[in-house]
Chains A and B, each alone.
Chain A
Amino acid sequence: DGGITQSPKYLFRKEGQNVTLSCEQNLNHDAMYWYRQDPGQGLRLIYYSQIVNDFQKGDIAEGYSVSREKKESFPLTVTSAQKNPTAFYLCASNSGNTEAFFGQGTRLTVV
């Protein structure tokens, strides 16, 4: 089945650690996105990529980094510079002017 796979579902980070969230899609979509969701709030855009080897900052990119080496993959690294990383992270993809398809999300907690 085509879709978007995010892993892991739950992730725990110690203070000062970098962690990487995985996002893979087999929908052959050109564009991929990372959103952050805090409790009781909507989604905010972190980074997005429209083609391989190219990506742009969203509204809250500070403390995050991404790469797009393959069309299918768009991993997000939460760096130690992100001071409040505890949140729900959602990856999405689309192709042109279509609806975005979302993964199941990764819940990141700082311990």
Chain B
Amino acid sequence: AQKITQTQPGMFVQEKEAVTLDCTYDTSDQSYGLFWYKQPSSGEMIFLIYQGSYDEQNATEGRYSLNFQKARKSANLVISASQLGDSAMYFCAMRPMDSSYKLIFGSGTRLLVRP
């Protein structure tokens, strides 16, 4: 069965420091996509970063980078130079490469940035 596991229900980080949010996935597919979304308290889901299973380089988007270790089936999100506005829920998601393009989500990690 395809599954996303986020083992950190909550994390604290000091402002301006870096933080890593863990994500492991389970799939037998060779081709898939991995996503990270941010959900502030208002509820909307904000796309952060994408990694394809065949991408050889780790994805980066501004202060966000994805530490992709295919053999370990992990796709950890690294946020550098944390800001107070980074406090939110963070969800890792996987898209199997079937025709549906649906997303399978993990249970999320709540990040709190301390001033």
Contacts and interface: CB of A to CB of B under 8 A. Distances in A.
Interface stretch (B12-20, B42-50, B63-71, B73-81): B42-50
Interface in B28-47: 33, 35, 37, 42-45, 47
Contact of B91 (A42, A58, A88, A101): A42
A89 B108 CA distance: 16
User: Interface size for chain A: under 10, 10 to 19, 20 to 34, or 35 or more residues?
Assistant: 20 to 34
A45 B97 CA distance: 16
Nearest to B6: A42
Nearest to B49: A99
A103 B42 CA distance: 11
Contacts, number: 61
Interface of B: 4, 9, 33, 35, 37, 42-45, 47, 50, 91, 95, 97, 99-108
Contact of B47 (A33, A35, A58, A100): A100
A48 B100 contact: yes
Given A48-B102, A94-B101, A41 B108 contact: yes
B105 to A, nearest CB: 4
Nearest to A44: B105
B107 A45 contact: no
- A-side binding surface: helix, strand, loop or mixed? strand
26 contacts: A31-B101, A33-B102, A33-B103, A40-B9, A40-B107, A40-B108, A41-B108, A42-B4, A43-B45, A43-B91, A43-B103, A44-B105, A45-B102, A45-B104, A50-B100, A50-B101, A56-B100, A88-B43, A90-B43, A96-B101, A97-B95, A97-B97, A100-B101, A100-B103, A104-B43, A104-B44
